[in-house]
Amino acid sequence: MRRMDVRRRVTEARVARLATADESGEPHLIPIVFALDGDAIHTCVDDKPKTTRRLRRLTDIAANPRVSVLVDHYSDDWSQLWWIRVDGFATVHAADTDAGVTGLDALARKYPQYQSKRPPGPVITIAGLRWRAWSA
């Protein structure tokens, strides 16, 4: 896959999976909404219902900031399959900080749900991106 095609596919994707690991290496994988903004990926803890506000992704990032984001496409026509993995280092920011506002602005440009209401939770910014991609 060409570099521009990879960035376009990630930019257009509506959902991805965020992989984190705790200090012992125990993996954790969750679906996320996200925005690619320059050389960073932003996601946030929004106010969709959750079983707890002590989220594993946040404690994992505090212990081990190395994360992966996976964007993929499945089709029963296997000639259309592709995936893109972006590895990087995550930081967590309060929504009212400069870094938090930057991330929320990027998310609001992509998702109308964030235009009228700002999420109360923290923003996760992933930088130092390393790209891997595969397509059939």
Which positions ≥6 away from 51 have C-beta within 8 Å? none
**Count of structural domains within the chain:** 1
For the segment 73-85, what is each residue's pLDDT rounded down to a tens digit? Answer: 999 999 999 999 9
- 31 half-sphere exposure, CB direction, 13 A CA radius: 5
**Could you tell me which residues are beta bridge partners of residue 95?**
none
Average pLDDT over the chain, rounded to whole?
Answer: 92
Contact 105, 114 (CB under 8 A): no
Cα–Cα nearest to 11, from 93, 111, 127: 111
Domain range enclosing 121: 3-135
Three-class SS state of 108:
helix
More confidently predicted of 53 and 72: 72
- CATH code (residue 100): 2.30.110.10
For the segment 25-63, what is each residue's pLDDT rounded down to a tens digit? Answer: 999 999 999 999 999 999 998 766 556 567 999 999 999
More confidently predicted of 104 and 121: 104
Rounded CA-CA distance 74/128 in Å is 27
pLDDT of residue 53: 62
User: What's this model's pTM, rounded to 2 decimal places?
Assistant: 0.92
